[in-house]
Amino acid sequence: MTIKTGDRLPRTNFVTPGESGLEQVDSDEFFKGRKVALFSVPGAFTPTCSARHLPGYVDKAAELKAKGVDEIACTAVNDAFVLGAWSKSADADGKVTMLADGNGAFAKAIGLEMDGSKFGLGTRGQRYSMIVDDGVVTSLNVEEGGDFKVSSAEHMLDQL
C-alpha cells in the first residue's frame, strides 16, 4: 500500500551520520511534535539529485523554515557514510538532515520503492517530497518516471 495524505508514517529506523559515528534514528521520535519537510532521492551523488534536488533544499532552507518547517530531511536508499559525504560535499550540514534508509525499509513501508535494477541500482526509493506534521503526511508529491518537478524545494514552498 502506498502512503497517502492523511496517513501516519509507519515506524521504521533510519541511520544518520553523527558527530560520534553512526546513530540510529527512530522515525516516530524524529517526526514527533514538529513539521518536517522530507524529500527522497534515488541516490546520493546521482546527476539530478546532486545538481538540483539537494541544492534546492540547501538554498531554500531559510525560506522553508520561515514558512513553519522545523526540519528539512533527505532520505535515500544509501548507507549513512555515503549520505554523510554527500552532505559535506553539498554544504548541506546544518541545513538538511540526512536519513539513511540503507536497506530500503522505509521506502518499502510507505510503498514508494522503485526497481532500478536495469541501471544497476537495485531497489531504491522513488523521488518524492512530503510535509509531515507530527508524524502525519499532510502533503505528498511523487514524481512520475524520471521527472523532477513536484518534489523540488520550490514546489514545496508554494504548497506552504
CATH number, position 139: 3.40.30.10
The verdict on residue 118 lying in a domain is yes
Count of structural domains within the chain: 1
Taking only Cα atoms into account, the Rg of the chain, rounded to an integer number of angstroms, comes to 14
Give the number of other Cβ atoms within 10 Å of residue 13's Cβ: 17
As a whole number, mean pLDDT of residues 56-85 equals: 96
Is the model's pLDDT at 35 over the cut of 90?
yes
The verdict on residue 7 lying in a domain is no
**pLDDT class of 44 with cuts at 50, 70, 90:** confident
The label of the residue with cell 559525504 reads 85
Q: What angle do CA 102, 137, 152 make, to 5 degrees?
A: 70
SS3 38: strand
The confidence score (pLDDT) of residue 76 equals 96
As a whole number, mean pLDDT of residues 105-115 equals: 94
Is the model's pLDDT at 124 over the cut of 90?
no
Grid coordinates given for 19? 558527530
Find out whether 100 and 64 touch, Cβ atoms under 8 Å. no
49 is annotated as an active-site residue: yes
Is the model's pLDDT at 49 over the cut of 80?
no
Between CA 152 and CA 130 the distance in angstroms is: 10
Percent of the chain with pLDDT over 90: 76
Percent of the chain with pLDDT over 70: 99
Range of the domain at 96: 13-159
Between CA 56 and CA 49 the distance in angstroms is: 10
The verdict on residue 6 lying in a domain is no
For the whole model, what pTM was predicted? 0.94
Neighbouring C-alpha atoms within 13 Å toward the C-beta of 143: 24
**pLDDT class of 70 with cuts at 50, 70, 90:** very high
Residue 14: its H or E element: strand 13-18
As a whole number, mean pLDDT of residues 40-47 equals: 86
Catalytic residue among 49, 69, 80, 114: 49
The verdict on residue 89 lying in a domain is yes
**pLDDT class of 127 with cuts at 50, 70, 90:** very high
